[in-house]
């Protein structure tokens, strides 16, 4: 049996975590002097959880959601999930289809690679978020989770740009459970992560590692302070999985963000799994 497992990662007091994150959001918006927050909603778990936290903290009348599909890469199911979600939370929302904006860029550049155009989509979405924030006197709430921030799985100045990051101290597997706790439909909470920057774009396929394995590795390396070799020993994960996560972390150094996010110390207080994992290691 592994001494450190995904159960240690997800063993959290999610009501306590909700209180910490809600207080953080209220404090950030209050200090800004602005009237609320704008968030992009994709139909995925990270943006859904961020939306739920914003509504809990600020009330639905102080949150605006933008849904920004490109019909060539965004499935209708994602758009419908996003619209259904924002309606269920009672927030003002706008649907901006970005097909023509992407085309206006590529008309000037003469085209581009799949990756370049995919990142362009993310950056176009962020410009629309900031345009709306300026118009509405609001902050932009980022939707990045800790897993994706640590391995650099975001677009610089795209989904990586925001005024604050409410879920940046939670791993993806923790976010999924917090989503259910906050009333996000299980269909969204359990949906495979898919940035949809190009057709058929699914996160785990591109990364080559499951999020559960990513999270156990990151937890062991970052929170427990173990060496890669020790991670293999105590988790039972393969050398290849741990090496892949370390490789992603090293490649992402230039992308690390210093945006306001809840402190890890405040999260540890509601994370029994962290303390239990330390005890199994004799720490």
Cite the active site residues.
46, 148
CA angle 235–152–27, rounded 5-degree value: 100
Q: Is 114 annotated as a binding residue?
A: no
Q: Is 109 annotated as a binding residue?
A: no
Reported as half-sphere exposure (CB side, CA atoms, 13 A), residue 260 has a value of 14
Q: Is 244 annotated as a binding residue?
A: no
Instruction: Output phi, psi for 34, to 5 deg.
Output: -95, 170
Q: Is 42 annotated as a binding residue?
A: yes
Rounded to whole angstroms, how far apart are CA atoms 171 and 186?
18
Q: Is 104 annotated as a binding residue?
A: no
Q: Is 176 annotated as a binding residue?
A: no
Q: Is 88 annotated as a binding residue?
A: no
Q: Is 206 annotated as a binding residue?
A: no
Instruction: Output phi, psi for 212, to 5 deg.
Output: -60, -40
Q: How far is CA 240 from each of CA 33, 165, 213, 219, 247, rounded to the nearest angstrom? A: 48, 31, 11, 17, 10
Q: Is 111 annotated as a binding residue?
A: no
Rounded to whole angstroms, how far apart are CA atoms 101 and 116?
15
Contact 276, 9 (CB under 8 A): no
Contact 139, 163 (CB under 8 A): yes
Q: Is 230 annotated as a binding residue?
A: no
Q: Is 235 annotated as a binding residue?
A: no
Contact 267, 169 (CB under 8 A): yes
Q: Is 254 annotated as a binding residue?
A: yes
Cβ partners under 8 Å of residue 119, min gap 6: 155, 156, 158, 197
Q: Is 31 annotated as a binding residue?
A: no
The beta-strand segments (E) located in the chain are 37-40, 63-67, 92-95, 139-140
Q: Is 44 annotated as a binding residue?
A: yes
H and E: helices and strands count for the chain: 15, 4
Q: Is 70 annotated as a binding residue?
A: no
Q: Is 47 annotated as a binding residue?
A: yes
Contact 41, 85 (CB under 8 A): yes
The binding site for deamido-NAD(+) consists of 123, 156, 163, 254-255
The binding site consists of 40-47, 123, 143, 148, 156, 163, 172, 254-255
The binding site for ATP consists of 40-47, 143, 172
């Amino acid at each position: 049996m592994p001494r450190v497992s995904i159960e240690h990662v997800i063993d959290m007091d999610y009501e306590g975590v909700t209180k910490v994150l809600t207080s953080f959001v209220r404090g950030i918006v209050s200090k800004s002097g602005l009237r609320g927050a704008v968030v992009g909603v994709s139909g995925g778990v990270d943006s859904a959880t961020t939306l739920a936290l914003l509504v809990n903290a600020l009330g639905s009348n102080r949150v605006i959601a933008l849904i920004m599909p490109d019909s060539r890469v965004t499935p209708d199911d994602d758009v419908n999930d996003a619209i259904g979600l924002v309606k269920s939370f009672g927030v003002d929302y706008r649907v901006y289809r970005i097909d023509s904006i992407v085309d206006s860029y590529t008309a000037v550049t003469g085209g581009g690679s799949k990756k370049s155009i995919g990142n362009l989509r993310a950056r176009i979405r962020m410009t629309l978020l900031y345009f709306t924030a300026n118009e509405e006197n609001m902050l932009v709430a980022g939707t990045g989770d800790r897993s994706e921030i640590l391995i650099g799985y975001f677009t610089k100045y795209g989904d990586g740009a925001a005024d604050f990051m409410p879920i940046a101290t939670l791993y993806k597997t923790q976010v999924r459970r917090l989503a259910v706790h906050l009333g996000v439909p299980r269909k969204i909470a359990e949906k495979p992560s898919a940035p949809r920057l190009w057709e058929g774009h699914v996160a785990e396929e591109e990364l080559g590692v499951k999020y559960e394995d990513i999270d156990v590795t990151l937890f062991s390396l970052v929170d427990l302070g173990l060496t890669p070799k020790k991670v293999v020993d105590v988790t039972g994960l393969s050398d290849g999985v741990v090496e892949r996560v370390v490789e992603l972390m090293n490649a992402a150094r230039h992308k690390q963000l210093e945006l306001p996010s809840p402190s890890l110390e405040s999260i540890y207080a509601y994370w029994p799994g962290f303390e239990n994992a330390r005890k199994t290691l004799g720490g």
